[in-house]
């Protein structure tokens, strides 16, 4: 039985949520706890992050205001900071939506892959004007190098990079990257995993996890989504995802490089 969330919320959040108890759905990447009111039928989600992760919520709210409901993004209903320093936001969701990882939506894996492909495509079609830059490939490259040099990348026992030493994978990634032409620039979500795809009973969607959204290489999103799908449902659903996104817009060599980069960063 889910238990009420024990942390307090700012008064302005309470005005929107009312007397409903908040029940924890899960904690997403970056330490953001996602909560729903206990009363069924309320189409809102509460994002709550404690220090030192509170910037994740603030960044997401900033980008949601810029997105203004486009590409599956939610409407911000209220924001606030608790006395303890927790950052909290309430956003409007599709009615009855649950994360794609939770399976209660009843949608088969192949259809989930198609829904995610279409959602990522819609993000990449947004105009790039007026947004910040997402982390560049140079920044991500430095982050991957730091993780490898500090022993933060483990040797995987399975998957496409099983038994490969991180140092060798980093060298392979850098060789791939140096051989690629310049990438096109689009809006990128920054982390379109299944935990951030919410599916409603009518298959309408909401997307969360926009804290790293900005202009960048779309293959970063494609690599993250492919990994999330393969880990959750198996590699067979990657093909329908890419078909739904549009294979004509996918550079397979660049996708390979970003999939390797994603491995080094997670």
pLDDT given at position 42: 85
CATH number at residue 197: 3.90.1200.10
Indicate whether 138 and 45 sit together in one domain: no
Closest CA to 201 of 41, 59, 45, 79: 41
Indicate whether 129 and 236 sit together in one domain: yes
Residue 15 burial (CB count, 10 A): 12
pLDDT given at position 113: 98
HEC assignment per residue over 176-231: HHHCCCCCCCEEECCCCCHHHEEECCCCCEEECCCCCCEEECHHHHHHHHHHHHHH
Indicate whether 115 and 67 sit together in one domain: no
Domain boundary among 37, 69, 92: 92
| pLDDT digit string, tens, across residues 119-153 | 999 999 999 988 889 888 889 999 999 999 999 99
pLDDT given at position 6: 57
Domain boundary among 92, 124, 144: 92
pLDDT given at position 91: 96
Low-confidence ranges of the chain (pLDDT < 70): 1-9
pLDDT given at position 7: 64
Q: Structural domain tally of the chain? A: 2
Indicate whether 152 and 172 sit together in one domain: yes
pLDDT given at position 8: 64
Indicate whether 121 and 231 sit together in one domain: yes
């Amino acid at each position: 039985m889910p238990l009420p969330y024990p942390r307090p919320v700012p008064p302005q959040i309470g005005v929107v949520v009312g007397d409903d108890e908040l029940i924890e759905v899960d904690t997403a990447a970056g330490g953001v706890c996602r909560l729903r009111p206990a009363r069924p039928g309320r189409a809102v989600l509460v994002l709550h992050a404690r220090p030192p992760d509170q910037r994740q919520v603030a960044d997401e709210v900033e980008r949601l205001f810029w997105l203004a409901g486009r590409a599956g993004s939610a409407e911000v209903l209220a924001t606030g900071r608790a006395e303890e320093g927790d950052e909290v936001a309430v956003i409007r969701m599709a009615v009855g939506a649950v994360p794609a990882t939770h399976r209660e939506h009843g949608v088969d894996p192949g259809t989930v892959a198609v829904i995610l492909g279409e959602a990522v495509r819609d993000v990449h079609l947004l105009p790039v004007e007026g947004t910040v830059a997402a982390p560049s490939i140079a920044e991500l490259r430095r982050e991957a190098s730091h993780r490898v040099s500090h022993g933060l990348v483990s040797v995987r026992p399975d998957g496409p990079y099983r038994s490969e030493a991180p140092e060798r994978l980093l060298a392979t990634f850098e060789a791939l990257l140096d051989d690629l032409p310049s990438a096109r620039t689009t809006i990128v979500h920054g982390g379109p995993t299944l935990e951030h795809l919410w599916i409603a009973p009518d298959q309408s969607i909401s997307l969360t996890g926009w804290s790293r959204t900005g202009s960048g290489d779309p293959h970063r999103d494609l690599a993250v989504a492919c990994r999330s799908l393969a880990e959750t449902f198996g590699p067979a659903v990657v093909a329908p995802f890419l078909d739904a996104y549009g294979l004509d817009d996918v550079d397979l060599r660049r996708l390979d490089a970003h999939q390797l980069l994603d491995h080094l960063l997670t």
